[in-house]
A and B are shown apart, each in its own frame.
Chain A
């Protein structure tokens, strides 16, 4: 245990006593009628507001969620073992707030913003309400800057822009979390602050994520909001909103942030539990009627805002900068069923989705993205020029390959053109494979995709493609560092760069070292 500093402690106590407000205030009080499964019914509390914090005896807080004629239904935030029938409950007149600010970066906090990483208290005085209405149409600006995930397959075919909501959807064990974590790791040095909201996950998985992020030096720009599987349902239900409030701090100050909700299915389950216990009528799949609104009001808060909005929010301290909050919600499907209630809802809310499939994953295609049905509805405008120019061919090649591959199963002898297309498709599929924790820079992606679209892979055996790629990249990074740096800075594509890439690949192939 740390050495206690007596003078320091006295200081703190003195300050607290000074700041203590002991004037008696009129308060609304009620009586606890029943406590069951984290739901408390309170008689009285006539002045309670929806979403207001309710204070119970022993410093436990609750959230008013059902306002009825003679009673208030509230969910307890935290431990409810000490609560008993007949105890008093008080209105606080406040709504739930969480600490926000730069001080949270690098920390692991719970839904209420309390640190749970054992690194001491969080040094911030700023708080923000967890629920906030999303910026309106006037405050918004269109998405035109990229968020680079570092995945060739994603950045070339389903690009994500700053302020976009891109859903990652797939069955269990298809690499959803891995993709989101890699996207966070790749933001190192890009200035994008990241928030990872873990909802209903095993504590061991959360610890794993934290360790991996620390290993890759990505914790410095990341906040982790953790509501584990053993936390009360109310915490799981609120975690995305409090994570969002922490992200909005950056949005409001003209900065860029990325938030990952892992995953919203579990949040919907937690909300379903609360709703059923509050005796709200169940609807489809026993979810309450407002489960669409549950996710739409959350995801709508991820957006890009214009400089006027930022200026207003910072009282003129920050001018001429846009802010953005990019959301990567994750949904887990059961047996690939995307027509279940929650998946369809979230698909319709987001600006595109990345489908990850079990059979692709098992056949070794990782990331297991199904390029045919994965889309990005707004990211195209945000792609870097070079990837946009070169990446168009990839999607097409894969689409043609899928069509032909199915057809070619029955035909034994194929004409030259068809065989070539099949070969190319196979090569591109192989090329799109990428290891975990190995994000690529724009230049590396550009180079590899250029090699594929310009036919440099024709004389490379399919099983050698990954070795070829690795060797090519290390060659380019050492011999053509200048060209690579130039592409990384501006992301432009012109004849000069094309010539440079061509020269690089040709020289590399001359070495025959793969």
Chain B
């Protein structure tokens, strides 16, 4: 996993540079998402790692599946990846690309896991507070996990703010044990 990210980084950077030069950030986003979805498919994965197929055949297979939705540049990317036997990296490349894009646009994806559904008001308030703390635009996604009992856990990349009742209880349990 960690190694895959490292391998995918130069590709993601190259794609990002190309995209920002041409001003086609969103188009690339869509293309990469499509490719990632294709590669993630189990049957497709079999084809992509099949030893008896040549790089060209694998690239062809992938572009064929995507049909006419890919632009020329994306097809070239697939060809390059196939040549280097890195087709399986596409999901990582897509993820890294999205990260780079978010960095450029100064936005961050935040996942809020709460015990109960957040009201719009609560979500707005939370977004405002996080915007002030993280100093960038926040894209909020909310999830519901009833095992938290109450409160919420906020995740922004590696940063985790645990304000859930379960978290507090486990802290209490640990303090008792030590």
Contact = CB atoms under 8 A, between A and B. Distances in A.
B172 interface: yes
A362 interface: no
A110 B159 CA distance: 33
Q: Which size class do A's interface residues fall under? A: 20 to 34
Contacts of B157: 46
Interface residues of B, number: 24
A44 interface: yes
B158 interface: yes
B6 A47 contact: no
B161 A27 contact: yes
A47 B158 CA distance: 8
Contacts of B13: none
A33 B2 contact: yes
Contact of A24 (B3, B9, B167): B167
Contact of B162 (A24, A30, A43, A69): A24
Interface in A13-62: 13, 16-17, 19-20, 22, 24-30, 33, 41, 43-47, 59
Given A29-B158, A30-B158, A47-B158, A22 B2 contact: no
Nearest to A44: B158
Contact of B160 (A16, A29, A33, A68): A29
A26 B174 contact: no
B6 A17 contact: no
A59 to B, nearest CB: 6
Interface in B1-27: 1-3, 5-6, 9
A45 B171 contact: no
Nearest to A16: B175
A374 interface: no
Contact of B6 (A13, A28, A69): A69
B2 A16 contact: no
Contacts of A41: 2
B158 A33 contact: no
A71 interface: yes
Contacts of B155: 29
B24 to A, nearest CB: 27
B95 to A, nearest CB: 12
Interface of A: 13, 16-17, 19-20, 22, 24-30, 33, 41, 43-47, 59, 68-71, 90
20 contacts: A13-B176, A17-B172, A19-B175, A20-B175, A22-B171, A24-B163, A24-B167, A26-B161, A27-B162, A28-B160, A29-B155, A29-B159, A29-B160, A44-B158, A46-B157, A59-B174, A69-B9, A70-B5, A71-B2, A90-B160
